[in-house]
Amino acid sequence: MIWPKLLGAKDAPMTLRGGPEDIRHIQAFLKLIAPGLRAESIENAQREDIRNHIKRLVDTRLSLLVTYFQGHGENISNGKDEDYSVRYITGDAKKDDGSLEYLTADEFIEMFSAFSAPTMLVAITDICHSGNLYRLQFRLLVLKDGTAFWCETKEWNDDNKLGRKHKINAPMIHIAGSYRWQQVYETKSTGGYLTHVCTFAAGIHGPGTNPLQIELRESVNRHLDKAKDHPRRPLDPWIAQVPQPLDEPGILSKICLGTA
């Protein structure tokens, strides 16, 4: 498909060249964190496909669910810097007016709020602008010296003040491809940078540590540095992509060790 465009603008294809590599990498990652986990792939999933699939999984009452969304995310705003969101472009055909179909962050929260505490959720979003898409309570703050700690998010505090209708009820860790105001990047050979580094970051540290979240950031930075030095098509030097792990400190390392 082609992105909707302004009059006179050039066509911009929506094809993600690294998609096949992403599928291979995420399957390898799932084998690392949850051996024996049954994987289901939905390619070019339409809006209602996603909603119906999540509803079916809620009714199944799983003990562990790992979800992975890859594709395009669009930043949306109400005009206030402190209040903006994201929508995930689905695989539906364009609407009659040429616009794209999507699922909003609010709809993601509504869908996943139906899971209860017995289900452990690991949510991976390798899409642009998906930082704290689920508006979770904590995010991992990593300092320049490598130390890290969990801090409460503004989204969570705002929702408590406003009495938000839907919240995530099951224990969840969300690994987002970038901050909300950032894009995510890929190449044909590596796939998405986040998904690529997941495959080795999950297995390089021994028991008793929780380094995956920090390793993701360092590895994505190495990818970006290489892309900025490309001899023919370098990325702009100001471009950044900071993977965002949110909520439930230690849960992912427990999953890796089989103790969650």
Specify the pLDDT at position 213.
52
Specify the pLDDT at position 80.
55
Cβ neighbours, 10 Å, residue 184 = 23
Q: Candidates 3.40.50.12660, 3.40.50.300, 1.10.1740.10, 3.30.2290.10; correct CATH number of 19-257?
A: 3.40.50.12660
Boundaries of every domain in the chain: 19-257
Specify the pLDDT at position 103.
92
Specify the pLDDT at position 5.
57
Cβ neighbours, 10 Å, residue 244 = 25
Specify the pLDDT at position 239.
65
Full pLDDT tens readout for the chain, 260 residues: 554 554 444 555 666 777 778 888 888 777 777 777 788 888 778 899 999 999 999 998 888 888 989 888 888 865 555 556 788 888 888 888 878 888 998 999 999 999 988 888 889 898 888 888 999 888 877 776 667 677 888 888 888 888 777 888 888 888 888 888 788 777 777 777 777 777 655 553 343 334 455 556 666 666 667 666 767 776 667 666 665 554 444 445 454 444 44
Specify the pLDDT at position 48.
93
Specify the pLDDT at position 54.
94
Specify the pLDDT at position 29.
79
